[in-house]
């Protein structure tokens, strides 16, 4: 039996439906265990931060992308004692590549030239 059933279910549902090129699932529950709202909770899977890169998000605004994820995880979000907080970062491959290039530039690293000459 898995010690992370909520994370496992999220990974499976997102992978099957969105076929992400990047999927990061960060369980931040331990950082929030002392909050009053978590008093009495025995779950170790209540607060998650997700980074999802998928072409399924192409031409969709952030609210629509987030609705897609919320719909996929409806069961986990509604289950008593399960997900209390879900932070989403959703992007397309092109958006991810632009972000990585920006981060490299800020760090003074060379950026690969992908243009035609």
- Are 76 and 10 in contact by the 8 Å Cβ rule? The answer is yes
Here the tokens at position 72 are 């996929």
Residues 66-91: pLDDT tens digits? 999 999 999 998 987 778 889 999 99
Residues 17-41: pLDDT tens digits? 999 999 999 998 866 454 444 444 4
- Residue 60: Cβ-neighbour burial (10 angstroms; 0-12, 13-18, 19+): middle
pTM score of the predicted model: 0.80
């Amino acid at each position: 039996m898995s010690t992370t059933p909520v994370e496992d279910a999220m990974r499976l549902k997102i992978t099957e439906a969105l076929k992400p090129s990047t999927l990061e699932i960060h369980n931040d529950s331990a950082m929030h265990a002392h909050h009053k709202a978590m008093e009495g909770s025995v779950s170790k899977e209540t607060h998650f931060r997700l980074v999802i890169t998928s072409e399924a998000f192409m031409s969709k605004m952030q609210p629509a992308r987030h609705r897609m994820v919320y719909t996929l995880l409806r069961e986990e979000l509604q289950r008593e004692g399960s997900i209390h907080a879900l932070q989403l970062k959703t992007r397309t491959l092109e958006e991810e590549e632009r972000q990585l290039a920006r981060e490299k530039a800020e760090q003074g690293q060379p950026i690969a030239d992908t243009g035609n000459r």
